Amino acid sequence: MRPVRVPLVNYPLMNILIEDAEKLEYLTSSHQWTKNALKGKDFGATGDAWAAAKKEPIGRFNIVGHIPETRQFINLNHGKGKGAESGTDEK
Protein backbone atom coordinates (compact mmCIF):
# COMPACT_ATOMS: atom_id res chain seq x y z
CA MET A 1 0.00 0.00 0.00
CA ARG A 2 1.37 3.38 -1.00
CA PRO A 3 1.32 6.20 1.53
CA VAL A 4 -0.93 9.13 0.71
CA ARG A 5 0.22 12.58 1.75
CA VAL A 6 -2.46 14.76 3.33
CA PRO A 7 -2.07 17.85 5.48
CA LEU A 8 -2.79 16.45 8.94
CA VAL A 9 -4.00 19.69 10.46
CA ASN A 10 -6.74 19.86 7.80
CA TYR A 11 -7.57 16.15 7.89
CA PRO A 12 -11.40 16.11 7.90
CA LEU A 13 -11.76 13.20 10.31
CA MET A 14 -9.39 14.49 12.96
CA ASN A 15 -10.77 15.76 16.26
CA ILE A 16 -8.90 18.50 18.14
CA LEU A 17 -8.88 17.60 21.86
CA ILE A 18 -7.49 18.96 25.12
CA GLU A 19 -5.49 16.34 26.99
CA ASP A 20 -4.47 16.66 30.64
CA ALA A 21 -0.76 15.88 30.24
CA GLU A 22 -0.43 14.43 33.74
CA LYS A 23 -3.57 12.27 33.90
CA LEU A 24 -3.80 11.52 30.14
CA GLU A 25 -7.51 12.34 30.15
CA TYR A 26 -9.55 14.34 27.64
CA LEU A 27 -11.94 17.22 28.31
CA THR A 28 -15.58 16.45 27.40
CA SER A 29 -18.35 18.81 26.31
CA SER A 30 -19.72 18.74 29.87
CA HIS A 31 -16.34 19.86 31.31
CA GLN A 32 -15.63 16.43 32.79
CA TRP A 33 -12.53 14.34 32.12
CA THR A 34 -12.47 10.94 30.42
CA LYS A 35 -9.86 8.37 29.41
CA ASN A 36 -11.90 7.69 26.24
CA ALA A 37 -10.74 10.02 23.45
CA LEU A 38 -13.94 9.35 21.49
CA LYS A 39 -15.90 11.10 24.28
CA GLY A 40 -13.60 14.14 24.26
CA LYS A 41 -14.92 17.47 22.99
CA ASP A 42 -13.82 18.29 19.44
CA PHE A 43 -12.77 21.95 19.44
CA GLY A 44 -12.44 22.04 15.66
CA ALA A 45 -9.37 24.29 15.70
CA THR A 46 -6.17 24.39 17.73
CA GLY A 47 -6.69 28.06 18.61
CA ASP A 48 -10.11 27.37 20.12
CA ALA A 49 -8.72 24.41 22.08
CA TRP A 50 -5.76 26.51 23.31
CA ALA A 51 -8.03 29.32 24.55
CA ALA A 52 -10.27 26.85 26.39
CA ALA A 53 -7.34 24.92 27.90
CA LYS A 54 -5.76 28.10 29.31
CA LYS A 55 -8.99 28.66 31.31
CA GLU A 56 -9.22 25.13 32.70
CA PRO A 57 -8.06 24.41 36.28
CA ILE A 58 -5.36 21.98 35.10
CA GLY A 59 -1.60 22.07 35.08
CA ARG A 60 0.17 20.91 31.95
CA PHE A 61 -1.99 20.18 28.91
CA ASN A 62 -1.58 19.02 25.33
CA ILE A 63 -3.63 19.97 22.30
CA VAL A 64 -3.86 16.75 20.32
CA GLY A 65 -5.29 15.70 17.02
CA HIS A 66 -7.12 12.39 17.31
CA ILE A 67 -8.00 10.34 14.24
CA PRO A 68 -10.76 7.97 15.42
CA GLU A 69 -10.60 5.78 12.32
CA THR A 70 -6.98 4.78 12.95
CA ARG A 71 -6.84 5.56 16.71
CA GLN A 72 -3.81 7.77 16.14
CA PHE A 73 -2.85 10.86 18.12
CA ILE A 74 -0.79 13.81 16.94
CA ASN A 75 0.57 16.21 19.55
CA LEU A 76 -0.05 19.67 18.10
CA ASN A 77 0.77 21.99 21.00
CA HIS A 78 1.24 22.10 24.77
CA GLY A 79 1.03 24.58 27.61
CA LYS A 80 -0.07 25.22 31.19
CA GLY A 81 -3.61 25.90 32.37
CA LYS A 82 -4.62 28.19 35.21
CA GLY A 83 -4.21 25.32 37.69
CA ALA A 84 -0.43 25.24 37.11
CA GLU A 85 1.70 26.31 40.04
CA SER A 86 3.19 29.71 39.37
CA GLY A 87 6.73 30.62 40.17
CA THR A 88 8.15 27.08 40.30
CA ASP A 89 10.48 27.72 37.35
CA GLU A 90 11.93 30.96 38.64
CA LYS A 91 13.90 31.42 41.86
Q: What is the mean pLDDT of residues 2-11?
A: 58
Distance CA 53, CA 80 (A): 8
pLDDT digits (tens, 9 = 90+) for 47-85: 999 999 999 999 999 999 999 989 999 999 999 988 766
The answer to whether residue 74 sits within a structural domain is: yes
pLDDT digits (tens, 9 = 90+) for 16-32: 999 999 999 999 999 99
What pLDDT, on a 0 to 100 scale, did the predictor assign at position 54? 93
Answering whether pTM is above 0.95, one says no
Number of domains forming the structure of the chain: 1
Residues 6+ apart with CB under 8 A from 10: none
Domain residues for the domain of 16 are 12-28+54-59+66-83
Put residue 44 in one of left, alpha, beta given phi > 0 → left and psi -120 to 50 → alpha. Answer: left
Is residue 35 domain-resident?
Answer: no
